[in-house]
Amino acid sequence: MFELFPIFQLPIIFIFLLFVGVKRLPKVLNLHDYLMKHYILWLFRHLMATANWRALLAGAIAGPSILLTGYKTQHTSLAIYILMRAAVLASRCGIKSKRFGRICKPLTWAHGDIFLMCLSSSQILSAYILKQESLPSSYKSFLNKHGGKDAVILQGVRDIACGLPFSNLDAIEKHYKSTGIDITLDPKMKVPCSIVHGKQACEAHFVSFLLQAYKRALPVYLPVYLFPALIVHRQGLLKRPFSILARGLLGTFRSSLFLSTYCASAWMWTCLLFRLLKRCNVPMVAMGTFPTGMALAIEKKSRRIEIALYCMARAIESFFTCMADVGYLPQSKKLKRADVVVFSISTAIIMHCYAVERDVFRSKYLNVLDWVFGVPLPPYETTPRKKR
């Protein structure tokens, strides 16, 4: 078994040279590195000797393959999203475990996906209003479209939330005049309701915004449900076309209602909080956008965790970007490719769960992995734990 270990040395050396650099290699080859090399060698031999942990090692070694997409291209969003997927699998393993079952019991909460969405919304929507630079460009464009507010309005809300003097009240007034609304804004205002929805009341703005947002959301979800119906269920369309198309249309209307309610309630909750406390600042923006995530309850149960994990990955990336920009999280000069490290950890966890606890995967993901790696084991040998 140990004779096969040199096969794994090539990717390990590649990773080592990647982070150390060829020019610095002679400086690091000292006694400390000699001892460290033998310690790592012993560790890997120990892992290789344990069947349950071989997949963990294989996944970690496969992680740097993300560099094949471009050595100079950062893939932080992808790495964090895969880490979220790995965390879900690890939590399911923990729930099943006798050792960690009690610790992981809170993760079995039926509405945990909605709570996760609320946490994500607090960061994402706060960044949308206060610091859009922390969001990926494609996601920022998506929020600007469905957020339904012009950049000058967001700038006005940003000024009052950050305690800065208004810099563009004239531009906001011109924006409303271009839509047929003549309004004069008070430079001493304490809450930005008149900036957000002009002369409309907060309740009336919620209703009108909801209708407009629903029209914007329909073109987003119609292909999401229509194309799978035409491709995946193409044979069933000939036998039961009405039921398949009806299910697709129902999913389209339901998801569109979720997105429109999510966007409309973001402004509703913030306006409500500002009016109750009669002030506006950064913490209140974060608190006001937190309950927006409850709109996820409209979605189908099977889709909630998918949406929550996607948004959580975006929220984590935005949060750490904001922390680094304000100086609370100084960027490391030694670890320039943190995305590779995160991706390697994620693939290691996923491969370990695939080899040891196959039943923590959903069937559609498990089928894809089985197709990639080959024919699955017989049912009675699904996992080493079940075999024991």
Tell me if 125 sits within 8 A of 311, measured CB to CB.
no
Answer left, alpha or beta for residue 357, where phi above 0 means left and psi between -120 and 50 means alpha.
beta
DSSP-derived letter for residue 163 is T
> What's the CA gap between 209 and 191, in Å, rounded?
19
Task: Quick: pLDDT tens for 195-241.
Answer: 999 888 999 999 999 999 999 999 999 988 888 777 766 677 677 77
Q: Is 102 exposed, middle or buried (0-12, 13-18, 19+ CB in 10 A)?
A: exposed
pLDDT at 371: 80
Mean pLDDT computed over 359-375 = 79
> What's the CA gap between 54 and 5, in Å, rounded?
12
> What's the CA gap between 354 and 61, in Å, rounded?
16
Tokens of 28: 């690091």
> What's the CA gap between 75 and 359, in Å, rounded?
29
pLDDT greater at residue 32 or residue 366? 366
pLDDT greater at residue 69 or residue 215? 215
Tell me if 268 sits within 8 A of 218, measured CB to CB.
no
pLDDT greater at residue 315 or residue 230? 315
Mean pLDDT computed over 7-33 = 44
Tell me if 61 sits within 8 A of 7, measured CB to CB.
no
Mean pLDDT computed over 99-105 = 75
114 contact partners, CB below 8 Å, separation of at least 6: 293, 294, 296, 297, 304, 308
> What's the CA gap between 153 and 267, in Å, rounded?
12
Least confident of 248-257, 290-299, 332-341: 332-341
DSSP-derived letter for residue 10 is H
Q: With bands split at pLDDT 50, 70 and 90, how would you rate the model's confidence at 373? A: confident
Total-model pTM: 0.77
DSSP-derived letter for residue 329 is S
Is the predicted pLDDT of residue 333 greater than 60, yes or no? no
Instruction: Summarize the chain as % helix, strand, coil (round to 5).
Output: 75, 0, 25
Q: Where are the domains of the chain?
A: 112-325
Chain-centre distance for alpha carbon 241: 35
DSSP-derived letter for residue 332 is P
Q: Alpha helix (H) ranges present in 6-134? A: 9-20, 25-28, 31-49, 51-62, 76-96, 112-130
Mean pLDDT over the full length of the chain = 81
pLDDT greater at residue 42 or residue 2? 42
DSSP-derived letter for residue 50 is -
Q: With bands split at pLDDT 50, 70 and 90, how would you rate the model's confidence at 75? A: confident
Q: Is 69 exposed, middle or buried (0-12, 13-18, 19+ CB in 10 A)?
A: exposed
pLDDT at 327: 78
Is the predicted pLDDT of residue 262 greater than 90, yes or no? yes
pLDDT at 63: 86
Is the predicted pLDDT of residue 37 greater than 90, yes or no? no
Tell me if 89 sits within 8 A of 349, measured CB to CB.
yes
Task: Quick: pLDDT tens for 144-165.
Answer: 999 989 999 999 999 999 988 8
Highest averaged pLDDT of the listed ranges 59-73, 181-195, 354-368: 181-195
User: Closest by alpha carbon to 346, among 91, 95, 84, 97?
Assistant: 84
> What's the CA gap between 159 and 167, in Å, rounded?
8
Tokens of 21: 């650099």
Least confident of 117-121, 148-152, 360-364: 360-364
Is the predicted pLDDT of residue 55 greater than 70, yes or no? yes
